Amino acid sequence: MPVLPVSQVRPGDCLAVDVHTTLGSVLLQEGKSLTARDLEILQAFLVPSVDIRRSGVEASASAATNQETAASAAASEVALTSLQQKFVEMEMLLTKAFASIGPGQKLMILEIRNGLRELLELINDYSILMFIPPLDREKNDRWIRKSVLMALTSYQLARWCKFPEKDWTAVALAALLHDIGNTRVDSTMFRKPSGLTPAELNEMRQHTVYGFRLLEGVPSLNQGVSLAALQHHERIDGSGYPMKVAGDKIHPYAKIVAIADMYHAMTSARSHRKAESPYLVLERLQSEAFGKLDPFYVQTFIDRTTQFHNGMLVQLNDNRVGEIVFTDRSHPTRPMVSVNGEIINLAKQRDLYICSIYAM
């Protein structure tokens, strides 16, 4: 009963044990004779290896090379895409740059610009719904990782919303640096296993002001970048903070960054709560757009993010796995999903929703 990396499994091989998803549901059952489609599913779910039932000479040959194939599986499991590698480099650079800010020390803005430029050269490989950041082996602050994700997402959204091309990278830079004021906040608050006290929350909200002050004096920096640090928690009805400005008084960069901030904050795990489903987060953004976020930017974000998701393999909240087959554009977050030949219309079956997405 050899354990083989998925890359070496062939159509017709038989599973010796059940294969489970990361959420614990059965993806493929013991005894199943694998098809080419099954192998695609295993790859989509990032399954590194499986137990295969073979007999006789074939089993003996497999056992002889078992250690070698297991090592190969381990190596392939940690291999990073070019985008993931640049993501890690940008994360490390941002951590270093923020750690170096102190009395008399200038922000490493040239290095940050160069690192961001290299990251954005791979933007066509980035999918907001499906990109998987590599494992954070350095245990960096979550907000730094979120800032790098937001830079990619904000660049996409600025492009989709027809910002002038000269603004795309500036918006990405605004997202990358939007939380720089966190360097002036007690770092223990970011690692609390529970929510913040009112006093801690008030101090945390000052990060917007701290960030603006840190950025406003940086030479040749677009004013929208420093204003995004100040205003990314403002809301168009005036209910945000720190200045309670409203409407057109909020810089367009800040409106874009606010959407990316809310999306990645809710789809990322924190010490006191789990990550939320991207599709549920898109629904929340849509419901909160009225009076809070720029409705055109939000609708553009939702429409374009879900535009090409037909054919994606997804997992529903009841643990069933299916494929998106059709999307009614009036319900972009609730497509029709085919599960074992049954078509489930999520727009009508409101108790069900997509909780995980996998690229094919």
What pLDDT does 137 receive? 57
Identify the residue with better confidence: 303 or 137.
303
82-305, superfamily in CATH?
Answer: Hypothetical protein af1432 (1.10.3210.10)
Per-residue pLDDT tens over the stretch 219-228 = 889 999 999 9
Q: Please, are residues 128 and 118 in contact by the beta-carbon 8 Å criterion?
A: no
- Which residue(s) pair with 339 in the sheet? 342
For CA atoms 163, 167, 169, 173, give the dihedral sign.
Answer: negative
Instruction: For the chain, give the percent of residues with pLDDT over 90.
Output: 60
Per-residue pLDDT tens over the stretch 233-243 = 999 999 999 99
Identity of the amino acid at 354? I
Asked if 3-78 and 82-305 have one fold, the answer is no
Q: Domain limits of the chain?
A: 3-78, 82-305, 313-358
Q: Please, are residues 312 and 318 in contact by the beta-carbon 8 Å criterion?
A: no
> What are the backbone angles phi and psi of residue 295, rounded to the nearest 5°?
-65, -35
**265 Cβ partners below 8 Å, 6+ apart?**
146
* Pairing between β-strand 26-28 and β-strand 49-53 as defined by DSSP bridges: unpaired
What pLDDT does 58 receive? 46
CATH 3.90.105.10 matches 3-78: yes
- pTM of the predicted model, to two decimals? 0.81
Judged against a pLDDT cut of 50, whether residue 293 lies above it is answered with: yes
